[in-house]
Amino acid sequence: SLYPHYFTHTYPGTTGCEATCESDDIDEATCSGKFECEWYDEKCWSRVGREACPESPEALDAFLANVINPSDGAAHQVG
């Protein structure tokens, strides 16, 4: 997974989108049907951590793109 740091809190989380995705009662099929959630290590997790669930897959993509390439104006050099 791209975001292993999202999988280090006490499970299930209760803040923001964690409350939607994270539960011992959610199975893989249910989890996989929610774009804002991710199945990892036999559990369902929020893909945005404690942030509010995104309203659409496009909003999720924008959030994740900003996490990977933050638009903070700083120069990000590769290599």
- Position 79 scores a pLDDT of 45
How confident is the model over 25-59, as pLDDT tens digits? 999 999 999 999 999 989 999 999 999 999 999 99
- Position 9 scores a pLDDT of 79
Q: The whole model's pTM is what?
A: 0.77
Q: Is 40 helix (H, G, I), strand (E, B) or coil?
A: strand
At position 30, the amino acid (one-letter code) is: T
Cβ atoms within 10 Å, residue 22: 21
Alpha carbons 55 and 40: distance in angstroms, whole number: 22
